[in-house]
Structure 1
Amino acid sequence: MQSKPLIGLNANFRPATHDRPAFSFVGAGYYDAIIAAGGIPVVIPPVAEEADMEAILDRLHGIVFIGGPDLDPHRDGFMRHASVRPMESRREDLDRALMSLVVRRRLPVFGIGVGLQLLNITMGGNLYFHIPADVPTALPHKDPIDAGHRHGLEVVPGTIMDRIYGDGEVRVNSMHHMAIDELAPGFQVAARAPDGLIEAVQWAGDDWVAIGTQFHPEAESASALDQRIFEEFIEGIHAQYGVPRTPVAATAGA
């Protein structure tokens, strides 16, 4: 393995319209955070063949599943709440197939927002489809007029989030209306919102680097400390592959 791991990024997708071609896109915050943490981001287009997905994964050392629109509950056998705004089917087809391959391989994975929700579903968990309806006592997790809406974060001792944030007061951005209900087997909660909703998870064993956050550490509304999550993810990849990590500071001016 090279000194900098190759980190895949799935992409959002918009179909063609009468005056605009179809295109894939990724928020710059995702690849900037990977670069800053010492990885090399690789954007994955919505390929359809499983063999092509396998060929891509053969070359990656880890993958970050980005946030975005909602997963379609119909695909998991549930009714679709009126508030659900499903992502384009071409993206969801890729995301679901790719995540299945990732968990089968135990490739290091970091799910953010809907990426965390997909990781949880793929591993056997389920979701709240609309927090205000499913958990009426919950605090607001999305403010339509404030993209920088934040709430507190209560980290679980001994977890990755505890290692990052410690004992101080923590506040993270919050822009979601769906959330984890039943946590998938094999995972443990790493942090919760003050209302008890799950905000971060990690694989409970030491045989797989798999983490997820409901909040967005790559966003402009994130704190400088949130970047440490990407660094912990990259550190975990190096530990799994047994290769010393090249210090980020040493490569920043290269």
Structure 2
Amino acid sequence: MAVPVIGLTTYREHAAWGVWRQPADVLPAQYATAVEQTGGVPLLLPPVAQVEAADAVLARLDALVVSGGADIDPTRYGAEPHPRTAGWREDRDAWELALLDAADAIRLPVLGICRGMQLMAVHAGGSLHQHTPDLVEHDEHSPGGDVFGEIEVATVGGSRVAALVGERLTVSCHHHQSVLEHPGYVASAHAGDGSVEAIESEGDRFWLAVQWHPETAADVGLLAGLVRAAATYAAGRGR
């Protein structure tokens, strides 16, 4: 059986390496490493202006990870920007929404991570809490800078995410926004403060998102589950 190919969406940022200082397509290496360690081959997907190319791109993949990153443009869910909402990338929003359209059409396995979970909710017609500390009255989900917060998450019994990671776990997170409405999904994990930490579609399809960063942890059950679903998907279409 061929090794499944997993697409990973990327940032486009100003970056520095060697003698160079210029825009670059980047993603923390932990994403690709986690995919490789769980049996997949990672393929980076930078933002593409020709969003109609999404169908052709996903036809060559066995699964998709919608990665973390900047805030989503609030106009995408009919809201005015909160004072703390900033730095959204219109090119990335458009490309990743097109990828989700294309993935939905062919029932490709999808895992959303952090921003990816928020984008999947918005793609379904949902909305976001634009600054979670206003809701939960603490900053534990994103303590600031380049430090991950650690929170305890409880999964919903019988859910896909519970089958992959267990009933309770401590997760690494770095987000100041969270999902408010998620039509078409069920909430399958929550933090102790009530914030939604995972959503998934019902049925046997792997269409799942978490607010935390599983690629940073020694337990990569979510990514292993995605790679298994990708292998099954590839086998089903003769790859």
**In the alignment, is residue 172 of structure 1 matched against residue 171 of structure 2?**
yes
TM-score of the pair, normalised by structure 2: 0.88
Q: Count matched residues.
A: 233
Q: 1:143 to 1:137 in 2, by over 3 A?
A: closer
- What code does the residue aligned with 2:226 have? F
Alpha-carbon distance in structure 1 between the residues aligned to 2:86 and 2:95: 18
TM-score of the pair, normalised by structure 1: 0.83
Shift of 1:177: 0.9
Aligned to 1:182: 181
Q: Does structure 2 conserve the Cα–Cα contact (< 8 Å) formed by 1:11 and 1:45?
A: yes
Aligned to 2:71: 70
Aligned to 1:251: none
**In the alignment, is residue 236 of structure 1 matched against residue 236 of structure 2?**
no
More strand by share: 2
Aligned to 1:156: 156
Q: Does structure 1 conserve the Cα–Cα contact (< 8 Å) formed by 2:113 and 2:209?
A: yes
Structure 1: segments with no counterpart, 5+ residues: 244-254
Aligned to 1:22: 23
- What code does the residue aligned with 1:31 have? A
Structure 2: segments with no counterpart, 5+ residues: none
Shift of 1:31: 0.6
How big is each residue's C-alpha offset from its partner over 1:100-150, in whole Å with a ceiling of 9 and x where there is no partner? 2222332111000001111111112211111122x1456732111571321
Shift of 1:181: 0.7
- What code does the residue aligned with 2:152 have? G
- What code does the residue aligned with 1:209 have? F
Aligned pairs for 1:203-242 (under 5 A) are: 203-206=201-204, 208-219=205-216, 222=217, 224-225=218-219, 227-242=220-235
Structure 1 SS opposite 2:21: coil
Alpha-carbon distance in structure 2 between the residues aligned to 1:41 and 1:16: 21
The alignment's C-alpha RMSD in Å is 2.2
Q: Report the identity percentage.
A: 30
- What code does the residue aligned with 2:211 have? Q
Q: Does structure 2 conserve the Cα–Cα contact (< 8 Å) formed by 1:126 and 1:184?
A: no
- What code does the residue aligned with 1:123 have? A
Alpha-carbon distance in structure 2 between the residues aligned to 1:122 and 1:92: 10
Structure 1 SS opposite 2:64: strand
